[in-house]
Amino acid sequence: MNYFLVKSEPFKYSWEQFNKDGRTFWDGVRNYQARNNLKLMKEGDLVLFYHSNEGKHIVGIAKVVREFYQDPTTDDANWVVVDLAPVESLKHPVTLEQIKAEESLKDISLVRQGRLSVMELKANEFDKILEMGS
């Protein structure tokens, strides 16, 4: 199992809307590092859902339900999407401030590369965030 984090601005696509939809393809990625992270995702991998700009907190867990394929919003073959489905909301959203204050999370991309929209997490980082959100 691999672990990831995806970011979305809540006014564009919120955790609440994602739950209503029940499934979505994760589009709009136009950064090669983020795209490469999408390509690493395998069916069943778990993904933390982060509200960026407004809120700045992790609000829920999703899972990969379809591995990468051509982004249907563009004809450019460089860009791909994966399908995600919501799993559960965190009991307590985990803020960026809390993450930055946690020594064991100081090296995650959310802290080091603030603009990266799709990032890989280590199992212990994923577990720590879940612990913080329970």
29, 118 Cβ separation under 8 angstroms: yes
User: Which is the CATH superfamily of the domain at 3-125?
Assistant: ph1033 like domains (3.10.590.10)
79: exposed, middle or buried (C-beta count within 10 Å: 0-12, 13-18, 19+)?
buried
d(CA 7, CA 74): 20
pLDDT, one tens digit per residue, over 27-61 is: 999 999 999 999 999 999 999 999 999 899 999 99
Please state the pTM of the whole predicted model: 0.97
95: tokens are 């803020």
Provide the pLDDT for residue 116.
95
pLDDT confidence bin for 11, thresholds 50/70/90: very high
User: For the chain, which residues make up each domain, given as ranges?
Assistant: 3-125
**Helix (H) and strand (E) counts for the chain?**
5, 6
pLDDT, one tens digit per residue, over 61-86 is: 999 999 999 999 999 999 999 999 99
Task: Match 């080091």 to its residue by tokens.
Answer: 112
Provide the pLDDT for residue 102.
97
